[in-house]
Amino acid sequence: MYINGMTLIADSWHSMSDNITTLIVLISSKAASKPPDHSHPYGHGKVVDVGSLLMGVVLLGMSTYLIYEGISRFLIGYSIISEYVPLAIVVVVATCVLKEVLARYALHLHRVSGSLLCKADTWHHRVDALTGIAVMPVFVLSMLGVTSILIDLAATAVIAVLIMREGFEISREAMLSLIDTARHDITDRVTQVTAKIKDVVNVHDVRVRNYGGYYYIEMKMHLDPAKTIEEAHKIAEKVENEVRKAMPRVIEVIIHIEPTTPHEW
């Protein structure tokens, strides 16, 4: 094998992390699929965000370890022994292809479910494929008799940076979801759909809560004060139905009805 090279060690660690992140995906997805209960009236969808955050932290920790290990080995000094490089190349290429296939499948699941966890898994598989590509120049050079430690460490740095960027992006998106950061794309879409419904005078203060790729909408809606309670209720029902039709992942729309004052006519 390609012995004592940091590049292969880095790629191996990243590939091994798939086992950890896959376990996180399975456990988080199972927990998130539980229906709402007395203690969790909005369901358990936030578990997906917690799982994504954990996945991001694991990747950040791994990239930090690789940087530390690379610096330590550079300071101490080490040698590289190259054996069975052609076999290693075949294995890495096959792994890259498989990881890209898995990435595309996870991306498909993300588009269907809207789950941040699936999106995180997509990029993890894709970065794993990219790290395999980063290893290839070191293998090729070793076949030509070039086993430079600097080249090995440079490729390792590329892998570590890719992993760190992946971990940072996953952690960032998970944190934004956990603290209910505004989703302007969804609020704008809700406003557009609602504005087309007859008898709706105005809509404002639209808020969105994300629970594992599914959304709860809150809004304030102005109606003609001459409308009866029953008429207002029917309009609110129509608004909810139209919003859910336009955005299938919306679970519930809570509407606060307010009368339109004379100066707003």
Structural domain boundaries enclosing 234: 184-264
Which residues on neighbouring strands pair with residue 252, listed in sequence order?
216
If one counts the domains in the chain, the total is: 2
Q: Among 49-53, 79-83, 143-147, 213-217, which is the least confidently predicted range?
A: 79-83
**Residue 27: CATH number of its domain:** 1.20.1510.10
Regarding pTM above 0.75, the answer is: no
Label residue 3 by pLDDT band (50, 70, 90): very low
- Of 178, 210, 245, the domain-final residue: 178
Specify which of 122-131, 143-152, 198-207 reaches the highest per-range mean pLDDT: 198-207
Q: Identify residue 138 by its one-letter amino acid code.
A: V
Residue 1 pLDDT: 39
CA distances in angstroms from 208 to 19, 180, 182, listed in the order given: 33, 8, 7
Helices 46-76 and 6-32: angle between axes, nearest 10 degrees: 170
pLDDT tens for residues 110-127? 776 666 677 777 776 777
pLDDT in tens, 10-25: 666 666 666 677 777 7
Question: Is the same domain home to 132 and 250?
Answer: no
3-state SS, residue 223: strand
